[in-house]
Structure 1
Amino acid sequence: MNLHFIRRGTGRPLLLVHGLGGSWRSWNTLLNPLAAERDVIAVDLPGHGESPNLTGLHSIGTFADALTSFLIQHDLLGIDAVGSSMGARLVLELARRGGVLGAVVSLDPGGFWQGWQIPFFYHSVSLSGKLVKALQPVMPMLAGSALGRTVLLPQFSARPWAVDAQLARDEMHSFAHAPAFDELLDQLAHGAVQQPAPTGSITEPLVIGWGRQDRVCLPSQAALALEKFPDARLYWFEHCGHFPQ
């Protein structure tokens, strides 16, 4: 399938993969600084932004297949990649498969919850999705004020008032209008668990970054992520929520 993407800058290619309900615009705070040094490709995953739905199931497995096909189509196999949230789990899965990506940075990956954390993730994000959809008529005004962002975004940011207003508007619009959102949320919470990558199986650099104040993918989940990806190095973002970028 054809995935929508934007491409900026010159240099060694770098792939950016957004999270659930996001789009390529989720990276707007970093695009220009990265494009000053790298050839940056930021993609809209299926059922997000301007990319169409898949014809079948929307899951990490089918997204990994679709993204691999995209990289083959554009002669980008072996590209370095950064993923956020659901996208962070996606780049981990592609790293596990081997031969798809180069160096990988995985920021606050989903999929490492256990026990009570599963319904906590599912119901809290589902409620957030319903609230964002219900508030769409007034969302530009809410997202445009520091007070509104403080009320809207504490689940996702440790400093929600400081989030750029236009970025907040873009994210809240994308969150509300991603047709694959509900199916993906169910798959992330209740679908196939992330398979491990045995020690020594990932030869390219792999960093898992985690915000100390992440209220979506709780910091304690980093232990299971490292257990499943022992070749990874863990980096903690201090005073940071779910989206370091």
Structure 2
Amino acid sequence: MLSELAYTRKGSGEPLVLIHGIGHRRQAWNPVLDLLAQSHDVIAVDLAGFGESPAYPASASYDMDHACQNLSDNFAAWGIDRPHVAGNSLGGAIALELGARGLARSVTALSPAGFFGTLNRIQTLGLLVMLRLTSQLPDRALRTLSRSAVGRRLAGFSLYTHPERFTADEVYGDALALKRCTGFERTIAKGGNYAFRLHLDVPTTIAWGTRDLILPYSSSAIAQERLPEADHVALPHCGHVPMVDDPDLVARVIQNTTARTQEPVAAA
């Protein structure tokens, strides 16, 4: 059954779907949305149970099979077939899965999940759980923290190199999104041992922030070993969510990947 996903759509050209990470929302892509919309029909989506999208039914699993099938069903509802996809963190892993399953035309994965070392996995899960617990503060406390420069840095230092670029309203909105999301624990429970080990036959780029604290840059070596067919790119001075730290570079990396295929895209 189709779980309808909330989305923002902008621009024209070949379709490009943007997929956020765990606990985040589609607004994570705002810094690059206008840049990408100059050349693509861009759709930034809220995954099920995050942002404004409802959670899957209790009977549905938060695994890759269900995520990819539901996104494919939403592609059809949006009138697109095999779009380009770009994802960050959990969204990067989903983007790679879509590409491996023949559901995407090209893939750009920014610090994707699924390439953990043993210690990295513990570090990643620990930081994510800490962020989730911190978001459970009363709304008034979250609002107060978001109005403080120190509070904004504390809220964002593990995700961005430049958390100071966020406004108080943006930080507060992200905090509420993390606090109220209904898919967090089900995603962690299902994906805690996830590893990506498939092959891709579509143009693929894996780009990693060199200052990523959630999924450390050292994980990129594992990605290079498992996916030698992909292009591997370092994002200098970028954290885990690089769209904020260097939007021009991230947009360029995505556009360079989509440009590597010229196959016409048929409407659904």
TM-score > 0.5 by shorter chain: yes
Query: Amino acid of the residue matched to residue 152 of structure 2?
Result: R
Corresponding residue of 2:91: 87
Residue 135 of structure 1 and its aligned partner are, at CA, apart by 5.0
CA distance in 1, matches of 2:143, 2:39: 33
2:234 counterpart SS class: strand
Identify the residue that residue 184 of structure 2 maps to in structure 1: 181
CA distance in 2, matches of 1:239, 1:117: 20
Instruction: Tell me how far apart the structure 1 counterparts of residues 147 and 10 of structure 2 sit (CA, whole Å).
Output: 27
The correspondence for 2:241, drawn from 237, 240, 243, is 243
Q: Secondary structure in 2 aligned to 1:105?
A: strand
Structure 2 counterpart SS, 1:219: coil
The residue identity in structure 2 corresponding to 1:234 is H
Query: Number of matched residues?
Result: 239
Aligned partner of 2:80: which letter? Answer: L
Structure 2 residue aligned with 1:24, among 19, 23, 26?
26
The reply to whether residue 148 of structure 1 matches residue 151 of structure 2 is yes
Listed as ranges, the gaps of 5+ residues in structure 1 are none
- C-alpha change, 1:165 and 1:102, in structure 2 (3 Å) is farther
Deviation per residue, 1:17-46 (Å, 9 max, x gap): 111011211111222222233211111111
1:34–1:167: structure 2 CA closer, same or farther, 3 Å change rule?
farther
Please tell me the residue identity of whatever aligns with 2:65: G
In structure 2, what is the Cα distance between the partners aligned to 1:85 and 1:164? 23
Give distance in 2, aligned partners of 1:23 and 1:220. Answer: 26
Q: Shift of the alpha carbon at 1:188?
A: 2.3
**Map of 1:160 onto structure 2:** 163
CA distance in 1, matches of 2:235, 2:93: 18
Query: Identity across aligned pairs (percent)?
Result: 27
d(CA) in 1 for partners of 2:35 and 2:143? Answer: 26
The answer on whether the counterparts of 2:50 and 2:181 sit within 8 Å (CA) in structure 1 is yes
Distance, in Å, in 2 between the alignment partners of 1:132 and 1:24 is 18
Q: Does 1:5 align with 2:4?
A: no
- Choose the corresponding residue for 2:101, options 97, 120, 129: 97
Q: How does 1:1-245 map to 2 (within 5 A)?
A: 1=2, 2-55=4-57, 56-98=60-102, 100-134=103-137, 136-190=139-193, 192-197=194-199, 201-202=200-201, 204-245=202-243
Consecutive unaligned residues of structure 2, counting only runs of 5 or more, are 244-268
Output the amino acid matched with 1:145: S
Note if contact 2:116-2:195 (Cα within 8 Å) is conserved in structure 1.
Answer: no
**Structure 2: which amino acid aligns with 1:230?**
P
1:67 Cα offset (Å):
0.8
Partners of 2:12 and 2:169 in 1: how far apart? 26
Conserved? CA contact 1:18–1:24, under 8 Å: yes
Q: Distance in 1 between matches of 2:161 and 2:191?
A: 23
Is contact 1:26–1:167 with CA below 8 Å preserved after alignment?
no
Do the aligned partners of 1:110 and 1:188 also contact (CA within 8 Å) in 2?
no
Distance 1:83 1:118 in 2: 19
CA apart distance, 1:162? 2.7
* Contact 2:146 2:152 survives alignment (8 Å): yes
Contact 1:112–1:225, Cα closer than 8 Å, also in 2: yes
Per-residue Cα deviation, 1:182-212 (whole angstroms, up to 9, x for no partner):
111222223x422321xxx41x321111000
What whole-Å deviation, never above 9, does each CA across 1:155-205 have from its counterpart, x for those lacking one?
Answer: 111222233443322221111111011111222223x422321xxx41x32
**Separation in 1 of the partners of 2:170 and 2:92?**
20
Task: Quote the Cα distance in structure 2 between the aligned partners of 1:21 and 1:38.
Answer: 26
The AA in structure 2 aligned to 1:215 is L
User: What TM-score do the two structures reach when normalised by structure 2?
Assistant: 0.83
SS in 2 for 1:14: strand
